[in-house]
């Protein structure tokens, strides 16, 4: 293995360990789990807009975490497989599906090397995975491989490095109000003990300068995808999430560069 290969292997291990720890609080955080019927409807509307009703078609939810998106796909009538490489995430995903009486198949696996057969899925979906990838081009080629000819890829992601002016303003206002009130405010992400790990990982992944939609779309084309469409209209989801984030944190999030990309094999 080359020095670069060893470095990438070590980084991937760090990413896996990070999300294994985050599993403990993942479902308590807005933006991960869904806490209102309004947000659930907004997500279902977005998925319908891009991939339609399931009608028994096979869907692979990569980096499924605790299976938030897997359950939405199941609601739409897809035959769902959720895959994640962090076993603590999958433990929670399986328990949630059992409690809700859902027949979702869960596999321990790597998004870059799924070990799934060729041409088997009608839809491949992932949320907030692309920004973490060490070798996104290899991943995109893998996702294209497991899709049936004509199958659809749906990516939900964003640039979490480069903040917009509005997001900085809303974030600063939210922080100021929180300090004025004498508290730290609600925690919506990793605690202080994991923040340094998150920053370290982010500085070494491929999209360390931010996963801009155009750059992701260009790489999907390089991997052989066609009919690539970028949709930045997540307004209904952001509106619904404000009840849980609070007005200013919700506006900060809505002002970020977040998007959906669809592409066809």
- Residue, of 184 and 174, whose pLDDT is higher: 174
pLDDT, residue 256, reads 80
Mean pLDDT of the chain: 86
- Residue, of 151 and 168, whose pLDDT is higher: 151
pLDDT, residue 177, reads 59
Q: How confident is the model at residue 253 (pLDDT cuts 50, 70, 90)?
A: low
pLDDT, residue 128, reads 94
Residue-wise pLDDT tens digits, 98-123: 999 999 999 999 998 999 999 999 99
Q: Which CATH superfamily is domain 3-264 in?
A: Vaccinia Virus protein VP39 (3.40.50.150)
- pTM, entire model: 0.83
Beta bridge mates, 79: 58
Residue with tokens 């360390």: 208
The mean per-residue pLDDT over the stretch 180-208 comes to 69
CB neighbours of 207 closer than 8 A, spacing ≥ 6? 130, 131, 133, 136, 161, 215, 216
Residue 264 has pLDDT above 60, yes or no: yes
CB neighbours of 149 closer than 8 A, spacing ≥ 6? 119, 265
Q: How confident is the model at residue 185 (pLDDT cuts 50, 70, 90)?
A: very low
């Amino acid at each position: 293995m080359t020095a670069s290969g060893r470095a990438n292997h070590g980084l991937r291990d760090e990413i896996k360990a990070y999300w294994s720890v985050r599993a403990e609080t993942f479902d308590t955080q807005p933006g991960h789990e869904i806490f209102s019927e309004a947000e659930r409807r907004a997500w279902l509307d977005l998925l319908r807009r891009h991939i339609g009703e399931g009608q028994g078609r096979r869907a692979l939810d990569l980096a499924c975490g605790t299976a938030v998106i897997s359950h939405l796909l199941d609601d739409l009538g897809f035959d769902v497989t959720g895959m994640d490489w962090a076993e603590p995430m999958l433990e929670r995903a399986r328990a949630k599906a059992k409690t809700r009486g859902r027949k979702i198949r869960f596999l321990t696996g790597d998004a870059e090397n799924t070990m799934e057969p060729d041409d088997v899925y009608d839809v491949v979906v992932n949320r907030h995975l692309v920004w973490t990838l060490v070798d996104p081009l290899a991943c995109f080629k893998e996702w294209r491989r497991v899709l049936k000819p004509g199958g659809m890829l749906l990516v939900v992601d964003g640039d979490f490095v480069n903040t917009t002016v509005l997001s900085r303003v809303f974030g600063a206002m939210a922080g100021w109000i929180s300090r004025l009130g004498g508290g730290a405010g609600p925690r919506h992400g990793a605690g202080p003990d994991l923040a340094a790990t998150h920053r370290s990982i982010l500085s070494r992944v491929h999209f360390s300068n931010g996963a801009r939609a155009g750059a992701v779309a260009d790489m999907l084309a390089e991997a052989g995808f066609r009919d690539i469409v970028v949709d930045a209209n997540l307004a209904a989801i952001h509106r619904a999430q404000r009840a849980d984030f609070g007005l200013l944190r919700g506006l900060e999030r809505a002002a970020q560069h977040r998007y959906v990309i669809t592409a066809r094999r």
